[in-house]
Amino acid sequence: MGNLTFAIIKPDAVKNNYTGLIYDRILKAGFNILSAKLTRMSLAQAEGFYSVHKGKPFYNELTEFMSSGQAMVLALRKENAVAEWRKTIGATNPADADSGTIRKDFATSLGENAVHGSDSDDNAIKEIAFFFSDCELISNN
Ligand code: UDP
Ligand code: MG
């Protein structure tokens, strides 16, 4: 069980001005932010990041959406971070997300669902490395 995960505040949530409210959820849930930056992915970057979904029916829509505007990418630390963050964000489809989760409260739709979370420790490491260099990951203690 690792202590790192990777999060994205997706373009729908940034456009809807939910960045601050989602930051508040991150901090209240006890995550330590090791790094964060506002970026705008190119289509090629979004395709690379989501290459595991290549060939799925939602892939083109997903990569176009993820490159459609600003997104906030974050490296988060907490004990059991992957599972803890997925619990905080809720189910992929906001219609199925538990009350009090980020997707329940801030998602627009199944595709535009406000936030990303890694699905395993290995992918968390890979996804953090996709956007951050080691020297950008800053410990607070
Ligand atoms: N997605 C979609 N339609 C689907 C499944 C997924 O548009 O039927 C999008 C949605 O934005 C989701 C992302 O593709 O967050 C990645 O899908 P995944 O199954 O990995 O869900 P997640 O890990 O984000 O909960
Ligand atoms: Mg996933």
* Per-domain residue ranges of the chain: 4-136
* Contact in structure between 72 and 19 (CB atoms under 8 Å): yes
What whole-number distance in Å separates Cα of residue 74 and Cα of residue 118?
11
Residue 55: the pLDDT is 97
3-state secondary structure of 33: strand
Residue 132: the pLDDT is 98
CA nearest ligand 1 atom 25, residue: 92
pTM over 0.85: yes
Ligand 1 near 58 CB (within 6 A): yes
Provide the CA 59 distance to its chain's centre, in angstroms: 17
Kindly give the distance from the C-alpha atom of residue 118 to the centroid of ligand 2, in angstroms, as a whole number: 6
3-state secondary structure of 74: strand
Residue 140: the pLDDT is 83
Name the superfamily (CATH) of residues 4-136: Nucleoside diphosphate kinase-like domain (3.30.70.141)
Q: With a cut of 50, list the residues of the chain below it in pLDDT.
A: none
Residue 22: the pLDDT is 98
CA nearest ligand 1 atom 9, residue: 111
Residue 141: the pLDDT is 73
Residue 1: the pLDDT is 82
